[in-house]
Amino acid sequence: SGALLTTVAGLLVAMPSLIGNNLIIAQMQEIISNMDTFVEEFISSLRLEETKIPEPRPAATELPGSSQGEN
């Protein structure tokens, strides 16, 4: 009789715990999925911004004898 009551008490604790665990896992998977989507969109927007940046032009080189300080 004692073992039966212990088993019932264990099941009464285990079943709600299992349900709660499954709910938490489902919420975590949804959060991870949302984060993954955000990161993909963020990286995509960074790539789009990168294409808008113009290529740098080489600096103008000064020719010998053409410095402005000479008269």
Q: For every one of its 71 residues, what pLDDT tens digit does the chain have, with 9 covering 90 and above? A: 899 999 999 999 999 999 999 999 999 999 999 999 999 999 998 887 777 767 777 877 777 666 665 55
The whole-number pLDDT of residue 67 equals: 61
Q: Specify the long-range contacts of residues 33-41, CB closer than 8 Å, at least 24 apart.
A: none
- Rounded CA-CA distance 21/29 in Å is 12
Please report the pLDDT score of residue 58 as a whole number.
80
Q: Please report the pLDDT score of residue 49 as a whole number.
A: 75
Q: Among 35, 16, 15, which Cα is nearest to 27's?
A: 35
Residue 14: its pLDDT value, please?
A: 97
